[in-house]
Structure 1
Amino acid sequence: MKISFLRTGTLVKRYKRFLADITFATGETVTAHCANTGAMRGLNQPGATVWLSYHNNPKRKLAWSWELIELPTATGGVAMASINTARANALVREALEAGVISELAGGSHIRPEVKVGDARLDFELQVDHCHCFVEVKQVTLLEENGIGYFPDAVSVRGLKHLNTLATLARHGKRAVLLFCVAHTGINEVRPAAHIDPAYAKGLKDAIQSGVEVLAYRCRIDAREKQAEIALASALKVVVE
């Protein structure tokens, strides 16, 4: 996935969930759209360098959108993270079509936003002539030693999706939870039991029911005026 018309700035603050003030090197401050409804724990770092995309659309209230943030790592390096959760499904679809996700390679007839009971899952596809249901969750919370956690706040909706996947698995369907790790500093994914113990328990129960849990990290290459993001490599999921 390529994102064009990028410009860097310094994050001043994120507020009212969907708004963020960013100051450019020229001294100009703009208000950008923040396409992330979550707590953004670990990402809301005033003073950090951020990347914005520009949209010349008269129907938009805000021309700028906050896309990426640069964050320091424990080893003294810099990691990149995507804050735009609206891009996660498109990234996964690209990876499915390109065969990047080896566990789902060869999948066809990809159908997004599939209603199952009273829930809606992100994808349904055919793999080896079998129906497979996939729910995508973006992971960006890095706490220590390269360990990423999900969720970053209590997620009733996330637990509902887990229960839906578990029900499918118990009825003989292939059900997959896919963590789209959009933080280059994360090397391993774990459920955030210290934040949402109900979700952590629900994940264990879902696995026992037959739900497969995968994690793939994004490669993020940000350059002047353009960035490229793609799912690149599998990561270990640790459920204690």
Structure 2
Amino acid sequence: MNFPEPLLQGRLIRRYKRFLADVRLPDGTEVTAHCPNTGSMLGCQPENARVWLSDSNNPKRKLKYTWELVETGPGQLACVNTARPNAQAREAIEAGRVPELAGYDGCRSEVRYGEEKSRIDLLLSGHPSQPDAWVEVKNVTLAEGHEGFFPDAVTTRGQKHLRELMAQVARGDRAVLFFVVNHTAIEEVRPADHIDARYGQLLREAVEAGVEVVAYRAELASDGGDPTGRLALGEPVPVNLVP
């Protein structure tokens, strides 16, 4: 998948009130963009960083622009729009680019399930020989060197999702944690034990209980480090659960 329109480049002035970001455009104009990310965005908001915005082309929208990408370091890009990963994962699965989840002919989004009243990101069905697969999608943008970490803040919601996935395995279905690696520097994904030790513990318990974990990197940048406009998932990334 691609961004529907070319992105507008600017420089980050500040992010504030969680959902707002002030950006200076090349002509010196300052605009306020929507920041579609509820997380800490640790490492993804360097002062004066190059950022890229999408234009809603909707005159009724209060904020015309949406913050999509940020340059976190020389030649390193991250997608901070957390509305993107579900669509990225779904497209890759339906296009057959995720061998672990091949063979399903049905896919539904935001299906209610579980005793803790959750919604699964993707529910795959209709496989000739496999049970339904409950797929929880997570966006990975926290990079420390070439290691990627999830989460970037303590997440009780993420802990709940792991418990729900384990319960689905106990019922006889497949359950999959799908890391969408939206940072070009990341070559390996690890649980962020130094940020949320309980999440890391639960993730390892989930894998022991039969929850599957996959990770795929987005094709965000060209060899020169500039955005390609492509959000498609390409190569798999290893997941390292060793403490």
**Fold in common (TM above 0.5):** yes
Alignment of 1:158-169 (within 5 A): 158-169=158-169
Matched position secondary structure for 1:12 = strand
1:84 aligned to 2:86?
no
For the 8 Å contact 1:8–1:50, the answer to whether it is kept is yes
Output one character per residue of 1:150-197: Cα deviation in whole Å (capped at 9) or x when no partner: 000000110100000011112221110000000011000000011001
1:226: how far off?
7.2
- Using the size of structure 2 for normalisation, the TM-score is 0.93
For the 8 Å contact 1:221–1:229, the answer to whether it is kept is no
For the 8 Å contact 1:217–1:231, the answer to whether it is kept is yes
1:28 aligned to 2:15?
no
Distance in 2 (alpha carbons) for counterparts of 1:160 and 1:121? 12
Alignment equivalent of 1:228, drawn from 227, 230, 233: 230
Q: Percent of pairs identical after alignment?
A: 49
**CA distance change for structure 1 residues 224 and 168 in 2, over 3 Å: closer, same or farther?**
closer
Distance in 2 (alpha carbons) for counterparts of 1:137 and 1:188? 15
RMSD: 1.6
Alignment of 1:127-146 (within 5 A): 127-129=127-129, 130-144=131-145, 146=146
Gaps of 5+ in 1: none
Distance in 1 (alpha carbons) for counterparts of 2:227 and 2:198? 42
1:83: how far off?
0.5
User: For this pair of structures, how many residues does the alignment match?
Assistant: 235
Distance in 1 (alpha carbons) for counterparts of 2:85 and 2:110? 13
- Using the size of structure 1 for normalisation, the TM-score is 0.94
1:221: how far off?
3.9
1:224: how far off?
9.4
- The residue that corresponds to 2:95 in the other structure is 98
Distance in 1 (alpha carbons) for counterparts of 2:69 and 2:154? 24
- The residue that corresponds to 1:195 in the other structure is 195
- The residue that corresponds to 1:63 in the other structure is 64
Matched position secondary structure for 1:86 = coil
Output one character per residue of 1:188-222: Cα deviation in whole Å (capped at 9) or x when no partner: 00000110011001101101110001111111147
Q: As a proportion of its length, which structure holds more strand?
A: 1
Which amino acid in 2 is paired with 1:141?
Answer: L
Output one character per residue of 1:18-59: Cα deviation in whole Å (capped at 9) or x when no partner: 000000121111000000010000101121100011112122
